[in-house]
Amino acid sequence: MTDVQSDTGVLAGEERMLIDGELQHTATDAKFDVVHPASEEVVGQATDGTTADMDRAVAAARRAFDTTEWSRDVAFRYHCLTQLQEALTRNKERLRRILVTEVGCPISVTGSQIEDPIAEVGHWANHGKDFAYLVDTGVHPTQLGPARRKIHYDAVGVVGAITPWNVPLYLNIAETVPALMAGNTVVLKPAQLTPWSGSELGRIVAEETDIPAGVFNVVVSNANEVGAALAADPRVDMITFTGSTATGRAILAAGAATVKKTLLELGGKSAHIVLDDADLGAALPMAAMMACVMSGQSCILPSRILLPRSRYDEGLEILKASMEAFPVGDPWDPGKMQGPQISETQRQKVLGLIASGVAAGATVVTGGGVPEQLPTGYYVAPTLLSDVDPDARIAQEEIFGPVLTVTGYDGDDEAIAIANNSIYGLSGEVSSVDVDRALGVAQRMRTGNVTINGKSHFGITSPFGGTKQSGLGRRNGAEGFLEYLESKTIGLPE
C-alpha cells in the first residue's frame, strides 16, 4: 500500500487478494497496472489472479459454508458485519481516494459511493438480525388430515459476486453484504479496471473483523476467464452480477448446467418522458446533471429525453444551456462534477456511438467530442443530440457516457410506445405538473423503476431491478434479502 501523493491526491490500494483468510499474491507474482483516468498514468498495480486462485477461493467458501456455523449463527454474523461497518467508517477517506484514483469519479460526488454503502452494511446487519428465519403459517387442511406448516429460510450456499467498475465499492458491498448476513459464504470477483475497491474490502475484512477464513474471499484478476470460472463452478450455488447484458447472457449460459440461481442487474436505456404540461425549468436541468455527474457511467441514467413537439425547441434550449454550463474537469477539484470516462476504450466507444447518431441523421446541439481544455485524461464533453430516430443505434444501445438524445413525440401514447421500444427495462422518468397523469404514464412503462418529478425510486428499502433484458431478480428492500435465501416448507403434526 502507498501513501497519498500530496500533489495529486492519488492513492494506490491493496495489491493482494483474499483467499481463505489470507491476503496473498498469485503464485507467479504476476501483476497488472491500474491507470488513473484523469492523468492516463499508471498509479499502481494489483495481483493478477488465475483460475487456480479462483478454484482455491471457491473451495474455501464451500468448506466454510458446509463445515462451520456461519450459516446458522445469526448473532455472530451480526457481530461481524457491525465490525465491518465500523472498520469501513475508519477507512472511509482512504476508500474515497482509492475510488477517485481508480474511477476518476469527482471527489465532490463520492458520498453516494462511500458513505451510502457503509450505512447499508448496518442496514443489512439489522435486517438480518431481525429477520424471521422460521415462520409458522398455521394449520392447513389436507387429504390426510390437518397439518401445521412452517417455512424455513435457508442460506443459498456459496455465492459468487461479479461486479462492475462504475460504482465499485458500492456494488461490492451491495452484492456481498446481504448475502453474508443471510448466512452465505462469498467469493467476490471485482472488475478489472477497479481491482482496489475489491482488494481493499478484502484487506479490511481480514485485518479488522472476525469474519472466519473462507467466508469472504476476493479474487482479483485481469483475465476474463477467471470470472467465467466462478460463474461455471458447480460448487457455487448462486451468482450475483451487475454489468452488461452481453456478459449477463454468458453468465446465464455458464450456470445452466448446474441450474445455478442467478441475480442479474444488466444494461439500461431508460427514457425520460417529459409531458406537455411539465415544468421544463425544473425537470431538464436535473436531466442534464444526471447525464454528466458520473460521466454518464450509470445503468439507470434516463439518457433518452422524449419532448412533446409543441415544446421541443424550448426544451432543447434548456438542455443545451445546462449541459454547456456543467463543470467538467479534474476529479480532485471539489468544484468539478464530471470527471473522465474510466478508460480510453470506453471513451472511444462513447465517441463512436455519437458518430453513429450523427450518421443516422441526429444533430449535435452541443459537445460531441473531447473538451479542448482537457487534452489529458479520458474526457468526453457533455453532449446533446437532437432529432434522434427512436430506432437508431444511438437510441437503442447503452452509451455509458455524458450523452443525452432528444426525440420528439405527439401525445402520451406515442411517448410511451417510444419509451418501451427497447430490449431494456431498468429505469425511467416522467415529468408533469399533474402527478396522477404522470403516475398513469409510469404504470404503462415496461421498466422496473420509474422516477416522477425527480422523486427517486432508488433506495435501500425499496426493491430495485429490471424487466426484459435488464436483468433477473431484485436488489434492496425485503425482496433483495430474500434473493439470498431459499424457502423450505415443512409439514408437521398439528
List the catalytic residues: 265
* Closest by CA position to 23, among listed 59, 52, 47, 2: 47
* Angle at the Cα of 291 from the Cα atoms of 290 and 297, rounded to 5 degrees: 105
Give the CA distances from residue 360 to residues 305, 390, 417, 443, in Å, rounded to whole numbers and listed in that order: 17, 11, 21, 31
- The total of other beta-carbon atoms located within 10 Å of residue 269's CB is 27
CB 469 within 8 A of CB 422: no
Cβ atoms within 10 Å of 402's Cβ, excluding its own: 29
Tell me the three cell numbers of residue 185: 459464504
What is the spatial distance between Cα 234 and Cα 257, in angstroms, rounded to a whole number?
A: 8
Residue matched to cell numbers 442496514: 123
Can you say how many angstroms the Cα of residue 53 is from the centroid of all Cα atoms in its chain?
Answer: 25
The closest of 263, 158, 260, 261 to 216, measured between CA atoms, is: 158
For 17, the enclosing helix (H) or strand (E) is: strand 17-19
State CA 473 to chain mean position distance.
Answer: 14
Beta strands in 298-376 (DSSP E): 304-308, 363-366
Which residue reads 493478477 in cell numbers?
48
First-residue to last-residue Cα distance in the chain:
61
**Distance from C-alpha of 98 to C-alpha of 195, rounded to nearest angstrom:** 10
- Find, among 282, 289, 272, 290, the residue nearest to 407 by Cα: 272
